[in-house]
C-alpha cells in the first residue's frame, strides 16, 4: 500500500513530503498519512485502496479523499 500511495500521489503531481492543509495542524505530510494507513488492518487498507481506485477511475480528485483520511487520522490520534 505504501508503494501504491506514493506512486499515486506523485503521479498526481504532488510529493509525499507536501503538507496536507488541515486547520490547526501544521506540518502534516502525505508521508505521515501513508505511514498511518500502512499500520491499519488489511481490511481497512483494502477498502481505502478500492475507494482511491474508484475515485481515480472516475477522474475525481483523490486529494479530497486523502484530506478526509488525514482528518480522520488526526481525530483518531486525539489532536
Q: Which pLDDT tens digit goes with each residue over 2-43?
A: 999 999 999 999 999 999 999 888 889 999 999 999 999 999
Domain coordinates of the chain in residue numbers? 2-76
Q: What angle do CA 33, 73, 39 make, to 5 degrees?
A: 60
- Say whether 20 sits in a helix, a strand or coil: coil
**pTM for this predicted structure:** 0.91
Closest of 4, 74, 78, 75 to residue 32, by C-alpha = 74
pLDDT in tens, 33-79: 999 999 999 999 999 999 999 999 999 999 999 999 999 999 998 86
Amino acid at each position: 500500500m505504501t508503494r501504491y500511495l506514493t506512486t499515486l500521489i506523485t503521479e498526481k503531481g504532488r510529493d509525499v513530503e507536501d503538507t496536507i492543509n488541515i486547520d490547526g495542524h501544521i506540518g502534516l505530510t502525505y508521508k505521515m498519512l501513508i505511514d498511518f494507513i500502512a499500520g491499519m488492518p488489511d481490511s481497512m487498507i483494502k477498502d481505502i485502496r478500492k475507494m482511491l481506485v474508484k475515485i481515480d477511475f472516475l477522474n475525481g480528485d483523490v486529494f479530497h479523499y486523502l484530506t478526509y483520511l488525514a482528518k480522520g487520522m488526526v481525530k483518531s490520534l486525539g489532536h
